[in-house]
Structure 1
Amino acid sequence: MSITVTTWYLEQTAPSDLGPAAEPPAAAEVRIVRAGVPSPEFSHFLYTAVGSDVAWTDRLVWSRQAWEEYLHRPGVETWVAYERGTPAGYIELEGQDEGVVEIAYFGLIPPFRGRRIGGHLLTWGTARAWDMAERWPDRAPTKRVWVHTCSKDGPYALDNYRRRGFRIFDVRTSNEK
């Protein structure tokens, strides 16, 4: 039996497109920190912890060396949200050619969903995509930030992107077994 999967491709083309989310309550003690030391083990942990219940599988086969090579590419950044010292989720940015930045991965570990952390993290990460050239002087200034999500992702993913100011530029459907 196959299922139909819909994939939405969204973009922002100016920093002013970003619609900030409200911050989580102060009592949540949420901090967002860049993972400044590339760590295949930590990135693998985040990927599996966030994606295990929403069908993320493409990186499960990556070797430690593949993770290492990817994380050391100029313009790859991982920003982690912590709630009271515990990793709650992450956003991974991938600087591409000619001022384009992809939000390669974004999400929360299941117990942290529905607590206003996701919108806050997406706001923070998107703002970091727009100012990426400040941290990577060899990069062109960001002209476009894009992301894709699909019907297998969390039920609020598409709405969160749209509330943050992302606009759909393409929709594709496929059948998967």
Structure 2
Amino acid sequence: MARLEVTTTYLEMLSAEQIIPADPTELTLTEAIAPCPEFQRFLYTAVGGSWYWMDRLRWTYQQWLDYLTQDHIRTWVGYVQGTPAGYFELSQQPDQSAKIEYFGLLPQFIGQGHGGYLLTQALKTAWELTSKRVWVHTNSIDGPHALKNYQARGLAIYDQQRAIFDLPQSPPGPWPGSLRPNL
């Protein structure tokens, strides 16, 4: 384990007119309507395994199912040539805002323009859930382009917080030993 200072950055958008769209790519978007813990866990680990997404790794099947069957949670998956390339998960918050809970691409689809386009779609979809505010947070151990992508699409920083975390020497990857050396 290593002690690491992590900066969490909170961003928001207060109007759908603030979206700065990215150019479309060949990515197609489908809502994952049927609750499927296996698929959701795959997305979570495949996208977040390189970036220390670990808070849900210990969830049981029932915890995943309980989470996914909540009315205020919705997930969309981006596909490239029939292969899952990334996803975003939205939640409608008690204050009627919409939060991008999770967002990202599988490693082999990073750097091809899909992230900007997927985020554009995430923001447009989030604004269908609210007329008040869309928000998200990222941190300094997330993908190196995450913060820039959020800002490039029109989200503005409204807060930053720093905290010390005990983290493994390397991110967990989608499964043990799977982390590619070039990440």
TM, length-normalised to structure 2:
0.87
Match of 1:61 among 44, 58, 62: 58
1:31 matches 2:28? yes
CA drift of 1:104 comes to: 0.2
State how far apart, in whole Å, the 2-side matches of 1:48 and 1:170 are: 27
Q: Secondary structure at the match of 2:159?
A: strand
Quick one: percent identity of the two aligned structures? 47
Map 1:97-176 onto structure 2 (within 5 A): 97-132=94-129, 141-176=130-165
Q: What letter corresponds to residue 80 of structure 2 in structure 1? A: E
Q: What letter corresponds to residue 128 of structure 1 in structure 2? A: T
Match of 2:48 among 34, 39, 51: 51
Q: What letter corresponds to residue 10 of structure 2 in structure 1? A: Y
Runs of 4+ in structure 1 displaced over 2 angstroms? none
State how far apart, in whole Å, the 1-side matches of 2:165 and 2:94 are: 31
State how far apart, in whole Å, the 2-side matches of 1:69 and 1:16 are: 34
CA drift of 1:175 comes to: 1.3
1:129–1:142 CA contact under 8 A, matched in 2: no
Q: Secondary structure at the match of 1:44?
A: helix
CA drift of 1:170 comes to: 0.5
State how far apart, in whole Å, the 1-side matches of 2:35 and 2:3 are: 38
Q: Secondary structure at the match of 2:88?
A: strand
What 5-or-longer segments of structure 2 have no aligned partner?
167-183
CA drift of 1:4 comes to: 1.2
State how far apart, in whole Å, the 1-side matches of 2:123 and 2:71 are: 18
TM, length-normalised to structure 1:
0.90
Q: Secondary structure at the match of 2:50?
A: coil
CA drift of 1:150 comes to: 0.2
In the alignment of these two chains, the number of paired residues is 165
Q: Which structure dedicates a bigger proportion of its chain to helix? A: 1
